[in-house]
Amino acid sequence: MAVFFWFWPMRLFTSKNNCYFWTLEKLIKDGGSIEWYPSRRWRGYHVVWVDQDNVAWEYTRKMYRHNPWYTMIFYTGHVRRFRGKRK
């Protein structure tokens, strides 16, 4: 999370995003809440945005094996309803 916090200003200069920045932007614009889950893609965490109707949404990309961790800083992804088990 600390890495993503310091990389946020770069988000202003790119159309790419990640789950953390997307969720933070949705939280500021639309309210709601967030939930953290252990990621299946890297050793860090995945964050989802929960809207006012208690529906969880995530910003994600296609699953690729053997991607270095730094590819998770900025990527072209899509928004979908969260498929994991909720807390």
What stretches of the chain adopt beta strand conformation (E)? 33-38, 45-50, 56-60, 78-81
Q: Is pLDDT of 52 > 60?
A: yes
What's the Cα-to-Cα distance from 11 to each of 2, 36, 66, rounded to whole Å?
A: 15, 21, 24
pLDDT bucket at 84, cuts 50 / 70 / 90: confident
Phi, psi of 5 (to 5 degrees): -60, -45
Coil, strand or helix at 69: helix
Percent of the chain scored above 90 by pLDDT? 36
Domain boundaries, the chain: 2-8+16-81
Which pLDDT score, from 0 to 100, does residue 41 have? 73
- pLDDT tens digit sequence for 57-73: 999 887 666 777 777 77
| Helix intervals (H) in the chain | 2-7, 19-30
Global confidence as pTM:
0.80
